[in-house]
Structure 1
């Protein structure tokens, strides 16, 4: 596992490179190549579209009047990451987790992330979320936690906790036990009243059964049932995004407790 603080480019004013069509075209090609190579972990053939991105980052735009800490899991080529970097304010912290080394390399070189607002801390961990030091309860109690962390990085209510988590993981590609573990981890990492967003593509259950056979179809349905139970317990609402490839539904959930 590698984890590092990404520094703003010293000579680049914020928000000067918000649109780089040729680079984003390269992002789409990279995403497609990695999806074809490792579809189990990527889970899509194209990055999320603008409407889905806006739905996923909504909790970071409706926020308390204080610095917040945001965790993004499964950043891919960074379409959500770039949007978060634009909406976060000085004093906020963004922790990005991406297990694919090619995607992580692309994020390190991203000019929009380098040109973010001064005072927005950005940390990249090239690993799975379950391998983070914060994922182990008590990992930071002896002071031997993630040495890539800055003072003031962690959330307002306890070490290694976040006000917002945005998950891009393809849950229906995973085994139900792993999905349950990740959802439980998200709840542990959120501050009381903190918010979680994730999404799923529409029509995938039938497509998975037809394309992969009854065994994988049954696993897919088990994950969907698990997600629906989780949403029934913690859900605030959902939004269907038709202008996405493929169409998707974004979910908003809140951890138990009052939000500070």
Structure 2
């Protein structure tokens, strides 16, 4: 498990080779996200339980998932992205976040994590946003440890800071319906602990998966799937602000927006801030997510 500070230091020759092989067109020009479709498909076929899709999320779904980062208070915010894959949501986040904001990306798949480390856009924006990448499961935070030797970090207390860190926004790309209900419950409880009071969470699920699971996996897996769906529906009833269907996504998906209990006063959080209260600029995102 490693933590990598993006946007700090030169790209190594090995990294440059990977950039050239995965993200250029026939004329040798850089293609944003080039090669990601094949990488995503190969990893989906190899580790479908953890990947949960065969293609990166489309623009419509990405925009729905990043609503809390665009409808935000006029102050620095801290964002956690879990399950970044090849980085389609990550690249959207670095475009809408501002200098002084923080973005912590958690991606357990080493091949996806390497793709993120060699992404030129993420590296370019990394220093302004204090962007870092942890190659581990979110359940293992803050145990991902300090940055590896030579990987940066502005001080020697990165692991100590991570232990106390909480977030204004969490964007989750985890395929919950591939997991056991107990595991999903633990992750959802962890998200609530990681969010500041009034912090916001987005995640998504594909439409029609219950019927597909019954047809392809049999009664036992179908029952597990239904149990996870019931758990998620209960979580959404308690904390949900709204949802939006991305019909043009492949396959169509529903993005959910939720808020952690309580409201905060300015000055609480890891960097001296909390998520906005219900009557603040960030509190109006429910309408745009429905």
Name the TM-score, length of structure 1 as normaliser: 0.86
Among residues 69, 74, 85, which one is paired with 2:78 in the alignment? 69
Which runs of structure 1 show a deviation greater than 6 angstroms over 4 or more consecutive aligned residues?
151-154
Match of 2:203 among 194, 198, 202: 198
Distance 1:168 1:237, change over 3 A: same
TM superposition shift of 1:119: 1.9
- Deviation string 1:177-227 (CA, Å, 9 cap, x unpaired) is 000000000000000000000000000000011000000000000000000
Contact 1:9 1:114 (C-alpha < 8 Å) held by counterparts: no
Corresponding position of 2:37: 28
Match of 2:231 among 223, 226, 245: 226
Q: State the alpha-carbon separation in 1 of the partners of residues 50 and 42 from structure 2.
A: 13
TM-score (norm 2): 0.78
Q: How does 1:35-50 map to 2 (within 5 A)?
A: 35-50=44-59
CA contact (8 A) 1:235 1:254 kept: yes
**Matched residues in 2 for 1:29 and 1:222: separation?**
32
Retained in 1: the 8 A contact 2:204–2:255?
Answer: yes
Bigger shift: residues 184-193 or 62-71: 62-71
Give aligned pairs, total: 241
| Cα distance in 1 between the residues matched to 2:196 and 2:146 | 21
Using the TM superposition, give the Cα deviation of residue 118 of structure 1 relative to its aligned residue in structure 2, in angstroms. 5.2
Counterpart pick for 1:189 among 194, 198, 201? 194
Q: Which ranges in structure 1 are unaligned for 5 or more consecutive residues?
A: 12-16, 135-144
Q: How far apart are residue 147 of structure 1 and its match?
A: 3.2
- What is the aligned partner in structure 1 of residue 105 from structure 2? 96
Give unpaired runs (5+ residues) of structure 2.
12-22, 148-152, 264-274, 277-290
The structure whose Rg is larger is 2
- Give the Cα separation in 1 of the matches to 2:78 and 2:179: 27
Is residue 87 of structure 2 the alignment partner of residue 82 of structure 1?
A: no
The reply on whether 1:207 has 2:206 as its aligned counterpart is no
Partner SS for 1:46: coil
Give the superposed CA RMSD: 2.4
CA distance in 2 between partners of 1:244 and 1:21 (Å): 25
The alpha carbon displacement at 1:10 in A equals: 7.3
Name the residue aligned to 2:167: 162
CA–CA distance in 1 between the matches of 2:5 and 2:181? Answer: 33
